[in-house]
Amino acid sequence: MSQETTANNAGQIVRDRIPVLTKMAYGLGTALDMWGLWLYPSVGFAVFSIYLGVDAKWVGLAMTLIRLYDAFSDPWMGWISDNVRTRFGRRRPFILIAGILCGLGLPILFCVSHSWADKSFLGVSAIFWFMIFSNMIYIPIFSAFTVPFNSLANELTPDYEERTSIMTYRSAMQKVFEVASFYALRFTNLACFLIPGTDKHNVLRGMQVYSCILGVVMAVFAIIIFLRVKERYYEKLVVKGQEHISLKSALYETLTCRPFLFMLLVGASFNLGTSMLGTLGYYATVYYVCAGNQGLGNDWNFWMGLAFMIGGLVGAPILNRVAYYLGKRNALIVTAGIGIIAYAGSWYLYTPHIQWLQTIASGLMGLTASGLWMLYGSICADVIDYDELHTGKRREGSFTSCGTYILKLGNALGGLLAGYVISSVGGNAALQAGAPETILRIRIMLAAVPIVGMLLVIAFILQVPLTKKICEEIRLKLEARRGKV
């Protein structure tokens, strides 16, 4: 770690540099975040609705209930993590143990039998109940990893610009690991999963094998993070000077922090606006661009995932430089503007006449998502400093868990809406029949809803008052009060 001093009107700011290997080691955790949380909803409709035949509205409802349950488990985990004291810190023991269990438990989510599709309980498919109960076991374990992991990002450095650099590495690596999510359905198209005597593939078996492979990688990454990344605020601030944080402080005081409230609205607007994208985009690709050819659609889904990754890899460092020159708030507004162009362009770029054009839309969407979450995480770290100045407490776990609660709620509602949109326009049967009005409605929703979300992002980020000057003044006041970390 290197440091350099720069002048500031209120005193001296010491630039805090984090080693590249530490940033990359931390970034490995995004693999667990992507595969443990986002893989399931990205393939859920393809596996449980299209392949196993469960009504899309029930799959959408299951996804929503799962995310709601997930959201409610996070605040408790944030409160627990903030109050734990061990020789290894507050976050790292959870990252190690829960990370390994998350990897080993991922295949459980797909341990369903095709024969269950014809069975029902309380008038609903048995597969619906399997989705609910298997996730009730898995989600608390995953929360025990993801809340401490995301909290740790806010403890790696006190530096305004280095926080953006950390989030740039994290966002770029996340894009790499996202490819595995997009490749999932293409993996199920391998010849070894071909059903004998047919031209169709066993999508369920393919996902069972694929989740086992990803699970092993997740466990290895959890071990690396534990060994390589340290908690810098722990010994000096938490162990020596911070008392037990009450549940009221963890929830009520956190949610009444005004800059944090507006950041929640920023994240929720983007998440709700784009959470239907994976599902509706997949249906648009299969039934509009590929005329109902699911195998071809799965192949294009992979290439679009690759374009999404490339957009994110390119976008993160570019928007990092935009933030350096314009500030984080203005950079986030620029990012939302790019998103508006991307989603409006999907109307023209999703076309059966030139199928590869949809990869351009996917690349711009990846750039938008990567840049927005990079800046969101960096600004939220500044918000935690703002809160410490006013309360005297470091509550990274509380802020992280309350934030993920709102974001997952938005994602849950998006999943529910996606399922009902598909069901309301006639479901899989209407799409397979190629009904023009059905496909038209999906295309309209795919373009319009995210644009509304982007406009709300711009409106809410303008209400967050944390400029670079203000953040550096806060840092100097905190260091004068409790020393440097």
In DSSP notation, 410-450 reads: HHHHHHHHHHHHHHHTTHHHHHHTT-HHHHHHHHHHHHHHH
Q: Is the pLDDT of residue 166 over 70?
A: yes
Q: Is residue 6 part of a domain?
A: no
pLDDT of residue 6: 47
More confident residue, 134 or 82: 134
Q: Is residue 4 part of a domain?
A: no
Mean pLDDT, range 133-141, rounded to an integer: 91
pLDDT of residue 432: 56
pLDDT of residue 138: 93
Q: Render pLDDT for 305-360 as a digit per residue (tens, 0 to 9).
A: 788 888 988 888 899 999 989 999 999 999 999 999 998 988 888 888 888 898 89
Task: Please give the model's pTM, rounded to 2 decimal places.
Answer: 0.75
Provide the percentage of residues in the chain whose pLDDT is more than 90. 24
Phi and psi torsions of 157, nearest 5°: -160, 150
Q: Is the pLDDT of residue 75 over 80?
A: no
Q: Render pLDDT for 431-478 as a digit per residue (tens, 0 to 9).
A: 555 567 777 777 887 788 889 889 999 999 999 988 888 988 888 888
Q: DSSP of 174-213, one letter per residue? A: HHHHHHHHHHHHHHTTSGGGBPTTSS-B-HHHHHHHHHHH
More confident residue, 190 or 129: 129
E strand or H helix that includes residue 263: helix 258-274
Q: Is residue 234 part of a domain?
A: yes
Q: Is the pLDDT of residue 94 over 50?
A: yes
Q: Is residue 1 part of a domain?
A: no
Q: pLDDT tier at 119 (50, 70, 90 boundaries)? A: confident
Q: Is residue 417 part of a domain?
A: yes
Q: pLDDT tier at 234 (50, 70, 90 boundaries)? A: low
pLDDT of residue 235: 58
140, burial (CB in 10 Å: exposed 0-12, middle 13-18, buried 19+): middle
CB neighbour list of residue 88: distance below 8 Å, 6 or more residues apart: 226
Q: Is residue 2 part of a domain?
A: no
Task: Give the mean pLDDT of the chain.
Answer: 82
Split into its structural domains, the chain has a count of 1
Q: Is residue 255 part of a domain?
A: yes
Nearest to 54 by CA among 129, 125, 134: 125
pLDDT of residue 8: 44
E strand or H helix that includes residue 16: strand 11-17
To the nearest 10°, the Cα dihedral for 346, 352, 354, 360?
A: 20
Q: pLDDT tier at 298 (50, 70, 90 boundaries)? A: confident
pLDDT of residue 237: 56
pLDDT of residue 10: 45
pLDDT of residue 112: 87
389 residue type, one letter:
L
pLDDT of residue 56: 79
More confident residue, 144 or 195: 144
Q: Which stretch, 19-28, 178-187, 437-446, has highest mean pLDDT?
A: 19-28
CB neighbour list of residue 237: distance below 8 Å, 6 or more residues apart: 394, 482, 485
What CA–CA distance (Å, rounded) separates 319 from 336? 11
Q: What stretches of 327-350 show up as alpha helix (H) in DSSP?
A: 328-349
CB neighbour list of residue 151: distance below 8 Å, 6 or more residues apart: 78, 81, 82, 90, 91, 396, 397, 399, 400
Q: Is residue 123 part of a domain?
A: yes
Q: DSSP of 58-101, one letter per residue? A: HHHHHHHHHHHHHHHHHHHHHHHHHH---TT-SSHHHHHHHHHH
What CA–CA distance (Å, rounded) separates 255 from 242? 20
What CA–CA distance (Å, rounded) separates 294 from 102? 30
More confident residue, 88 or 225: 225
Q: What CATH number is given to the structural domain containing 24? A: 1.20.1250.20
Q: pLDDT tier at 65 (50, 70, 90 boundaries)? A: confident
Q: Are 93 and 84 in contact (CB under 8 A)?
A: yes
CB neighbour list of residue 133: distance below 8 Å, 6 or more residues apart: none
Q: Are 350 and 443 in contact (CB under 8 A)?
A: yes
Q: pLDDT tier at 280 (50, 70, 90 boundaries)? A: confident
Least confident span in 218-232, 267-281, 403-417? 403-417
Query: Which DSSP state fits 380?
Result: H
Least confident span in 21-25, 249-253, 430-434, 453-457? 430-434
Provide the percentage of residues in the chain whose pLDDT is more than 70. 85
Mean pLDDT, range 374-388, rounded to an integer: 89
Q: Which domain holds residue 318?
A: 12-482
Q: pLDDT tier at 193 (50, 70, 90 boundaries)? A: confident
